[in-house]
């Protein structure tokens, strides 16, 4: 930004006009009948990588992406006839990168009505495009969620039959005439199957509760149970990546008031982000712990989710809670996790904070007002059906 001093010296109108257009957040340019650029502003220099002098020696065709040259020529002709135009288009910068823009153009005529030049405002619409992509991805995920909820239901019913059959089998075994070694062997298999079926049942139960967007009633929630459930849901990924899990959030000690499902989502998001951040690290440890915070207007629990992952660069620490902010490749990150975490905690009169030294992992702090088990109907924080 150049300094604007008005006090001591006069600035003529044209100069003021130029200063104003230079501080404009969009590209502005003007071209003559031959398509040569006769005026442009600082944003054009910034976005396109040319100096003003270079731009003033260029033809408008050189600024637009190669695949839309025909449209540009047609558009220019139409603009001269119609006087105004608004189109989506794309320019290319000095390196040849394509930048999608929204173009609003006006034709300027002299007193006789003959065309003099154009005046165009070009807005970089990349942020808008990213937002659109994010929304498409998010709604696709929502659809997958719906689908998963249906599948969970379809799994639950046959699973109940399997569990019942195994139970019957176990009871009928003694009546079969088997030698002891065979009987013990089969009993062992049945037990394995029962355990496996129960673990599927538990997972299905959790998933159904997680996917469902039920009306929320605030109940007494045990953070120990919430943390355990979140670790259970993320268990597969943690085990696959061989992450050492240290969970110090024990049961029946840390009570808050809220919605167990949504608080579980908070922890699932934090745990899965931590797992992602540790994927490529040699040392992978996830630690969950709680502190009691007594100062401030009300006593709170402060849960810390700490990983030994990549850490978060200082410069983006303030951005990570924004919707659709992600550093992960397309299809992997949605950038919705932490914004959801923050909005859930807001609803619970809590907050989330991050502390990270890049290269040394990250800690996310979840703060929630304390509640006591005597103060209302108790639940163990577990998801129900
Ligand atoms: N534990 C973590 N370690 C390092 N970076 C993290 C961690 N948690 C979140 N981040 C950063 O914050 C960004 C946003 O996270 P999130 O909102 O969950 O979206 P997503 O996981 O889909 O990218 C991530 O892309 C990542 O850059
Ligand atoms: Mg995430």
Higher pLDDT among residues 272 and 215, named by residue: 272
In this prediction, residue 90 has a pLDDT band, given cuts at 50, 70 and 90, of: very high
Model confidence at 45: pLDDT above 50: yes
**Quick check: is 320 in a domain?**
yes
Q: What is the pLDDT of residue 39?
A: 93
In this prediction, residue 234 has a pLDDT band, given cuts at 50, 70 and 90, of: confident
Q: Which ligand is nearest to the CA of 336?
A: 1
* 262 contacts 344 by C-beta, under 8 angstroms: yes
- Give the tokens for residue 103: 């173009």
Using CA positions, which residue lies closest to atom 24 of ligand 1?
Answer: 326
174 in the same domain as 41: no
Q: 385 is in which domain, residue-wise?
A: 214-385
54 CA distance to ligand 2 middle (Å): 44
Higher pLDDT among residues 379 and 357, named by residue: 357
150 in the same domain as 95: no
* 360 contacts 202 by C-beta, under 8 angstroms: no
Quick check: pTM over 0.75? no
Q: What is the pLDDT of residues 105-160, one digit of tens each?
A: 999 999 888 999 999 999 999 988 888 877 877 777 777 777 787 788 888 888 98
Torsion 163-164-167-173 (CA) sign: negative
Model confidence at 18: pLDDT above 90: no
Where does residue 176 fall: left (phi above 0), alpha (psi -120 to 50 degrees), or beta otherwise? beta
Atom of ligand 1 nearest to the CA of 310: 4
In this prediction, residue 212 has a pLDDT band, given cuts at 50, 70 and 90, of: low
Question: 265: closest CA among 233, 295, 304, 218?
Answer: 233
Cα separations (Å) of 326 from 242, 330, 353? 24, 9, 17
19 CA distance to ligand 2 middle (Å): 43
In total, how many domains does the chain have? Answer: 3
In this prediction, residue 245 has a pLDDT band, given cuts at 50, 70 and 90, of: very high
Using CA positions, which residue lies closest to atom 25 of ligand 1?
Answer: 326
**Quick check: is 6 in a domain?**
no
CATH of the domain at 76: 3.30.450.20
Model confidence at 174: pLDDT above 80: yes
Q: Which ligand is nearest to the CA of 275?
A: 1
For the segment 313-341, the average pLDDT, to the nearest whole number, is 88
90 in the same domain as 73: yes
Higher pLDDT among residues 366 and 337, named by residue: 366
Q: What is the pLDDT of residue 322?
A: 87
Which residues does 161 contact at the CB level (< 8 Å), separation at least 6? none
253 ligand 1 Cβ < 6 A: no
Question: 288: closest CA among 244, 255, 256, 320?
Answer: 244
Among 124, 142, 170, where does a domain finish? 124
Among 66, 89, 124, where does a domain finish? 124
The overall average pLDDT reported for the chain is 87
């Amino acid at each position: 930004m150049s300094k604007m001093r008005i006090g001591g010296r006069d600035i003529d109108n044209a100069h003021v006009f130029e200063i104003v257009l230079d501080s404009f957040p969009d590209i502005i340019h003007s071209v003559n009948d031959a398509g040569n650029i006769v005026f442009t502003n600082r944003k054009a220099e910034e976005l396109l990588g040319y100096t003003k002098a270079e731009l003033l020696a260029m033809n408008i065709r050189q600024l637009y992406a190669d695949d839309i040259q025909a449209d540009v020529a047609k558009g220019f002709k139409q603009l001269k006839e119609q006087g105004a135009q608004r189109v989506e288009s794309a320019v290319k910068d000095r390196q040849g990168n394509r930048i999608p823009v929204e173009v609003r153009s006006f034709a300027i005529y002299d007193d006789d009505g003959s065309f003099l030049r154009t005046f165009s405002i070009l807005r970089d619409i990349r942020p808008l495009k990213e937002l659109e992509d994010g929304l498409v991805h998010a709604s696709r995920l929502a659809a997958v969620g719906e689908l998963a909820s249906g599948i969970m239901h379809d799994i639950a019913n046959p699973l109940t039959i399997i569990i019942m059959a195994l139970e019957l089998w176990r009871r009928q075994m003694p009546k079969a005439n088997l030698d002891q070694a065979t009987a013990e062997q089969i009993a062992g298999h049945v037990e394995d199957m029962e355990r496996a079926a129960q673990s599927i049942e538990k997972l299905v139960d959790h998933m159904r509760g997680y996917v469902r967007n039920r009306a929320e009633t605030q109940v007494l929630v045990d953070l120990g149970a919430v943390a355990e459930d979140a670790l259970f849901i993320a268990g597969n990924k943690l085990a696959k990546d061989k992450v050492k899990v240290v969970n110090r959030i024990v049961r029946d000690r840390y009570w808050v008031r809220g919605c167990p499902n949504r608080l579980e989502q908070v922890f699932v998001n934090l745990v899965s982000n931590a797992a992602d951040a540790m994927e490529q690290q040699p040392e992978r440890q996830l630690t969950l712990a709680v502190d009691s915070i007594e100062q401030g207007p009300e006593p709170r629990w402060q849960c810390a989710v700490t990983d030994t992952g990549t850490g978060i660069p200082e410069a983006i620490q303030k951005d990570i809670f924004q919707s659709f902010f992600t550093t992960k490749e397309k299809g992997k990150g949605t950038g919705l996790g932490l914004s959801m975490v923050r909005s859930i905690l807001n609803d619970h009169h809590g907050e989330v904070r991050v502390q990270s030294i890049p290269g040394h992992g990250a800690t996310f702090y979840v703060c929630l007002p304390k509640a006591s088990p005597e103060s209302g109907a108790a639940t163990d924080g577990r998801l129900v059906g």
